[in-house]
Amino acid sequence: MINYTAEAFQNGQILLVDKPLNWSSFQAVNKIKWLLKKNYGLKKIKVGHAGTLDPLATGLLIVCTGKATKQISELQGQIKEYTGTITLGGTTPSYDLETEIDQHFPTEHITPELLEEARVSFLGEIQQRPPIFSALKKDGKRLYEHARKGEEVEIPTRPITIEEFELTGQTIPNIDFRVVCSKGTYIRSLAYDFGLKLNSGAHLTALRRTKIGDYNIVNSVSLEEFEAEAEKNSIEQNQ
């Protein structure tokens, strides 16, 4: 439960926020920081998040306030659960809907058996190459900055762990999934690599983060709910 008092926010709280579509994690954090300053007269307060969500993804964003920001690195290292949709038959440079489809591939050969064979191949520790459209740095610049300039960049693979990978719906070309994975996993890369494994192409068309460690999306609040409660409690305290 969130304690909507200035003292509680300064002493440190972990807020579970349901990040909306088309918002960056940075924008969500800034909105909360602005609301705290506006409603509680806090001229200075630390606010940060424990794990970026892309603007095209929704779901659980852990936001830490005050002294709780010291826990961010620990929270970032916890395993995460996502649900979403992979669309077969086409790739995009960003591996998701941020960019347009650049290549088309056949899907007629894809059978339930082939999907299962591909699914199982991603379980356990694997090597994954992050997407070029990501915030990782190379030669002092973000990868997406290189990508937008059309620059060729060598991106090394790195080890990640897929603990669970479940295909929850198979209506080709759309494959619904649930995945539990380690820190540093790019679900966009998983979608792209899944397409390769099927001798086709694929990109991510929906993504929702549902868990981080023991923290669950069912216990989250929307930004609208947080704003309403913050303003309600501010008004009550000033009466």
Residue 115 falls within a domain, yes or no?
A: yes
> Residue 113 belongs to what H/E stretch?
helix 112-121
Catalytic residues: 54
**Total count of domains within the chain:** 2
Residue 1 falls within a domain, yes or no?
A: no
**Residues 231, 179 share a domain:** no
Instruction: Give 96-154 pLDDT, tens digit per residue.
Output: 999 999 999 999 999 999 999 999 999 999 999 988 766 666 566 666 665 565 666 67
Determine contact, residues 168/177, Cβ cutoff 8 Å: yes
**Residues 126, 46 share a domain:** no
**Residues 133, 60 share a domain:** no
**Residues 97, 70 share a domain:** no
**Residues 132, 19 share a domain:** no
Q: What is the pTM of this model?
A: 0.92
Please give the Cα distance from 59 to 16 (Å, whole number).
9
Please give the Cα distance from 235 to 181 (Å, whole number).
42
Tokens of 17: 């926020």
CATH number for position 16: 3.30.2350.10
Domain that holds residue 135: 80-212
